[in-house]
Structure 1
C-alpha cells in the first residue's frame, strides 16, 4: 500500500512534489498556512535557467528540470483543458552581456565550462548581441546567448501542478498551519498537528521555502534555510522591445555569494502583458518586508546601463519576496536520517520554479523507492557542506511544541 505523505507548503516546489507522489500512487495531503502559491512563488519571475548555473549538481538538476518543463507544459494543458489558465511556458532564451574586456574573458571561461556539461552557450560579439537585442547600450562589448533559458508564469504553473495533483487524489488544505509533530506510540513521527487538527501520515515533507527552518524546528529538526530578500520593479505596459531575459555579467556572482550585504545586478525582461520586470537584489535581513527606495534606485540604474531607453519609462509598482537561501547554494531534497519519516524539499533560493519538476521527481523516487532522475547525494540534508550548520536538537528542544 502506498505511503501517506503530508507536504508542508503549497508553493511550486510543494506542488511539484504533490503531483509526482500522487501520480505515483501515494496518498498525499498538502498543507499551507496561507493560500496556495501565495508566498515565494507569487513574488518571482518564473525563471527556468541554465545560464546562471556553473558545472555541478545544481546545473544537472536544472537540465533535467528544463526538459521536464517542456513536457509538463503540454501534459498540463492536455490534462486540465483550455478553461484552465495557461502556465505561459515560453522558451525565450537568455542573453548575458558585459561591458568590459575582463568581464568578457570571464564570461567566455564560464560559458566554456557550461558547454562541456551540455549547455547551449553561444558566444556573441557586440554586433551579434545587438542583433538579438537592438536597444542594448553602446558600451556592451558582447555576451553569451543561452537558447535553452525559458520562463513560466509561476502562480499559474503552481496552481496547475496542484490541480493535476488533486486529479490524482491529493488533498490540498489551505489555512492550516503546522504547530508540531504528531507522534506515534513509540515516539516516532506519525504526522503533524495543525491549527485545524491532526493529520496522520507515514512521511512528512517540509517544502515551506524560506519558512522551512521554522517548520522543521516545530517538528524537532533543523535545516539551515534562511530568507534572502529580493525586490522587483514593474514598468507600465509598452510595445515589446526586450526579446530575451537579459542580464549583466554580475548576476551569477550575486546568486553564488554568501555575503549578507546588499547585492544588485541587472536582470531585465518583458512580459506578455507588455510590462518590463527589472531586478534583481539580494540581501539577508530576515523577514523584513519594508521596501527600500535606495535598493530600487540601484536596480533601476543598473537596468538603464543595459537598456538606456528604460530611463524614459515609468514604473507602476514594485514588490518583494523572500528566497529560501542555503549556505552552500544547493537545495535539500531527501530524508532526514536523524528523524525517520521527515523529508525536505527546500532551499532552492531563486531557482525554485526552474528546479521544481526535477525536485518533485527526485523526492518522490526516493520516498517510494524508485529509480532517481539524478544522484540524490549532493542534495542530502546530511551532506558534508552542511555538517557544521545543522546541529541536531537536544531532547529538551525536541520536546517543545
Structure 2
C-alpha cells in the first residue's frame, strides 16, 4: 500500500514537513541514508533570525516561522512531556554592531527597511549597545537591537519534531538510501527505490539539504542546490558574558553574497552550557571536509574585534558543515515543474532551522489543498530566477539518473538532512 508522502531527509526541514503533514492526516514515511538529524541540522547554532534578512520573501517566511516557533516550543513540550529534552527555545534577541560611520549609516538604512516590513529593529548608541553587552570593544560606535531574534537547540528541536510526527503516525526509517525513481505508467513519480526495497508513495518530497541536487538527479530531475561550507569555533565553558546573539555589520552581506571565495564575519553567542559559539565563514569548496587554519584564524580575529576578552579564551573544538546554497538565496518549497509527483523543501542555506516550521506548513498546505499561511509563489521551483539556470535536455538523456548522491560523505552544515 502506498504512503501519501515519502520524505527524503530526516533533518529539521524534513522533520517539520513530516509533522505538518502527519498532523493534517497524511500518511508519511521519512527516509535518511544515515541517522536522523545527523547532517546539517547537527552542525549549526539553531538560530531563529529576522535581523539578517532584508524585506522580501525570505523575511516573510522567517516572520511566520518565528511566530510558529514560539507556539511550537510549548506544543512540543506538552506533547512529548518532561522526559523529552527541551528544545531550549530562547528569545535572547540579537545585536548588530558596527565600528565605522559608513557602517552605521548603512545599518540604519537597512534597519529602516526592515521596520517597514514589520521587524522590531531598535537603533542603539554606543552607550546603549554597551548596556546590552558590557564587554563590547571600545571601537563599537553603535548598532541595532533586534528583540525578536531567538534560538533553539537544533538537534533537540529536530528530534522533537520527528517525535511529534511519529506520534501522529509518521514512520522514520534510517540507514535507507534512495537509489532511483518508481515511475507510473503515465511517467508520474510514484515512489522511490532504495537500498532497503521500494517505497510507493503519492508524492516524493526531497528535503536532503545540500545533497538535494544529487537526490533529485537520482530521481530524474534537477534542482540547483550546492553545498556552502561553514565553520564554527567553540570555546571552553565560562561564566556568561555574552547575552545576545552579537554579530558585526558584515554578516548580512556575507549571507547574501554569490561568491565562492572565503568570506568571514563575526557571529558570537553563548550557550546554556557556558560555551561561546563563534562564526561565521562561507565558502564553496564542494564537500571538502578539511579544516583550513586560515579560516579559523580569520574568524577568531573578527570575534576578538567585537569582544576583546575572547583573546584570552581557549577554543576547545571546531566543527564544519555544509549549508544548502541556492543561487537566488531563496529556498525551493513546492512541486517540481518537470516531474509530476516530485516536491522540494530545500535550499535554505544557513536558515533552515529558523525557516523550518513555515516550510513544513507550506508543503502540507500545497499537498493537501489547504490555505497557506503565506504566499508560496516566491519559493516555487519554476520561478524565473531558477529557470534560467536549468540545463537544456538532450535527446540522449535517459529517465533514470546517474547521480552520485552518497559518494561524498561528510558531516554537515548549519540545516539539515544527511540523506
Quick check: TM above 0.5? yes
Give yes or no for contact 2:236–2:314 (8 Å, CA) kept in 1. Answer: yes
Question: What is the CA-CA distance between 1:27 and the residue it aligns to?
Answer: 0.4
Alignment of 1:98-117 (within 5 A): 98-117=98-117
Corresponding residue of 2:128:
128
Q: Is the counterpart of residue 338 in structure 1 residue 338 in structure 2?
A: yes
Corresponding residue of 1:39:
39
Corresponding residue of 2:60:
60
Q: Partner of 1:201: helix, strand, or coil?
A: strand
RMSD: 1.2
Give yes or no for contact 1:16–1:360 (8 Å, CA) kept in 2. Answer: yes
Corresponding residue of 1:189:
189
Corresponding residue of 1:265:
265
Alignment of 1:150-169 (within 5 A): 150-169=150-169
Q: Partner of 1:4: helix, strand, or coil?
A: strand
Q: Partner of 1:123: helix, strand, or coil?
A: strand
Give yes or no for contact 2:2–2:201 (8 Å, CA) kept in 1. Answer: no
Corresponding residue of 1:361:
361
Distance 1:400 1:345 in 2: 20
Question: What is the CA-CA distance between 1:2 and the residue it aligns to?
Answer: 11
Distance 2:400 2:259 in 1: 34
Change (3 A) 1:343 1:84: same
Deviates more, 1:80-89 or 1:183-192: 183-192
Q: Partner of 1:398: helix, strand, or coil?
A: coil
Corresponding residue of 1:398:
399
Deviations 1:145-171 (A, max 9, x none): 000000000000000000000000000
Question: What is the CA-CA distance between 1:136 and the residue it aligns to?
Answer: 0.1
Question: What is the CA-CA distance between 1:389 and the residue it aligns to?
Answer: 1.1
Distance 2:320 2:398 in 1: 33
Question: What is the CA-CA distance between 1:3 and the residue it aligns to?
Answer: 6.5
Question: What is the CA-CA distance between 1:13 and the residue it aligns to?
Answer: 0.1
Deviations 1:184-236 (A, max 9, x none): 23332110001111000010000000000000000000000000000000000
Question: What is the CA-CA distance between 1:390 and the residue it aligns to?
Answer: 1.9
Alignment of 1:1-400 (within 5 A): 4-391=4-391, 393-394=393-394, 396-400=397-401
Taking structure 1 as the reference length, the TM-score comes to 0.99
Question: What is the CA-CA distance between 1:293 and the residue it aligns to?
Answer: 1.0
Which runs of 5 or more residues in structure 1 are unaligned?
none
Question: What is the CA-CA distance between 1:346 and the residue it aligns to?
Answer: 0.2
Question: What is the CA-CA distance between 1:397 and the residue it aligns to?
Answer: 3.5
Question: What is the CA-CA distance between 1:398 and the residue it aligns to?
Answer: 2.1
Distance 1:392 1:364 in 2: 31
Deviations 1:46-70 (A, max 9, x none): 0000000000000000000000000
Give yes or no for contact 2:235–2:316 (8 Å, CA) kept in 1. Answer: yes
Which runs of 5 or more residues in structure 2 are unaligned?
403-419
Distance 2:349 2:18 in 1: 20
Q: Partner of 1:58: helix, strand, or coil?
A: helix
Distance 1:399 1:311 in 2: 54
Distance 2:279 2:401 in 1: 40
Give yes or no for contact 2:4–2:203 (8 Å, CA) kept in 1. Answer: yes
RCO comparison, higher one (Cα < 8 Å, 6+): 2
Q: Partner of 2:74: helix, strand, or coil?
A: helix
Runs of 4 or more above 6 Å deviation: none
Deviates more, 1:182-191 or 1:20-29: 182-191
Give yes or no for contact 2:2–2:200 (8 Å, CA) kept in 1. Answer: no
Distance 2:184 2:393 in 1: 19
Distance 1:166 1:394 in 2: 42
Give yes or no for contact 2:2–2:202 (8 Å, CA) kept in 1. Answer: no
Aligned residue pairs, count:
401
Distance 1:281 1:260 in 2: 11
Taking structure 2 as the reference length, the TM-score comes to 0.94
Question: What is the CA-CA distance between 1:388 and the residue it aligns to?
Answer: 1.5
Give yes or no for contact 1:2–1:26 (8 Å, CA) kept in 2. Answer: no
Give yes or no for contact 1:221–1:392 (8 Å, CA) kept in 2. Answer: no
Q: Partner of 2:388: helix, strand, or coil?
A: helix
Q: Partner of 1:337: helix, strand, or coil?
A: coil
Distance 1:3 1:344 in 2: 17
